[in-house]
Chains A and B, each alone.
Chain A
Amino acid sequence: MDKQEKLPVKKMMLILSKATIENVYACFILANGARMDGIESEIFFTFFGLEAIQKDKLKKLHVATVGNPAMHIPTLLGGLPGMEAFATKMMKSEMEKLDIPPVDEFLEMLSAAGTKLWACKLAMDMFKIKKEDLIDDLDGVLTVGDFYERADGERTHMLFI
């Protein structure tokens, strides 16, 4: 037998630690793409990643224009007032053309698709974030240990963003 038996991924466990829009979208698209292919997915929002599930912040996420060589604008220009907002607006309009939803709608989509959304307890304590500050679709608040416990099946992958 030449052909090896295929062992497809069963579960993706994503850890989102950043709040720049390019990282948030990378995480959401990976989680949603998994569900679209019948793969389970879960997201653990920690550190700055918590901004993506805070009701009063999730609509105001920005792309990083400073310290990001792929923006192809000089660092000094990237730091000018309004630059981040401008770059973010441009990126959002391009994404809408590809039918990529805004952050709030994307979270609803993920929840409807069965992606589990978890907040990191330690990061919440550190930033003094209360559960009421977070989206209603949240599945709960976990410790790192709790999150690892959920990765107990075979062919489960963990990804840090």
Chain B
Amino acid sequence: MSEKTIAGYSVKCNDQGFMEDLNQWNKEIALALAKEESIELTEKHWEVLSYLQEQCKNETAITIRKVGKSGIVTIKEFYQLFPKAPLKTASKIAGTPKPVSCI
């Protein structure tokens, strides 16, 4: 665990850049993290991010299948919004822990 300065805020992150404390998250941090991933956040992106945060608060293990059934995005759209590794990238920007699921 280490302290990292993101958008002027000091936040606790693990060595892979996932935030350790969701309470430290804010929209400016999200914008900065998204920029690192070359993603411009649209309305849809924000909806996905708040869905992930809700699931995290409910302590539900998140999977791509669940995101696809959330009613917010289909799996295809999820891959388009967060290309490459959608669940990991989205979790990183949302300030939620690194997903441990294989699905």
Contact = CB atoms under 8 A, between A and B. Distances in A.
A38 B87 CA distance: 10
Interface residues of A, number: 15
Given A32-B103, A99-B101, A100-B103, A113 B88 contact: no
Contacts of A29: 102-103
A113 B64 contact: yes
B84 interface: yes
B103 A98 contact: yes
Interface string A96-119: 001111000000010011100000
B102 A109 contact: no
A99 B75 contact: no
B75 A36 contact: no
Query: Which of A99, A101, A109 gathers the greatest number of chain B CB atoms within 10 Å?
Result: A99
A38 B74 CA distance: 18
B80 to A, nearest CB: 10
Interface string A1-43: 0000000000000000000000000000100110111100000
Interface residues of B, number: 19
Contact of B68 (A36, A98, A112): A112
Interface in B57-82: 61, 63-66, 68, 74-76, 79
B102 A112 contact: no
Given A29-B103, A113-B75, A99 B65 contact: yes
A35 B65 CA distance: 13
A38 B85 contact: yes
A113 B79 CA distance: 7
8 contacts: A36-B85, A36-B102, A99-B61, A99-B66, A99-B101, A112-B74, A112-B76, A113-B75
Q: Which of B68, B83, B103 has most A Cβ within 10 Å?
A: B103
The 8 A-B residue pairs with the shortest CB-CB distance in the complex, in nearest-first order? A38-B84, A112-B75, A112-B76, A38-B85, A99-B63, A37-B85, A33-B102, A99-B65
A128 to B, nearest CB: 33
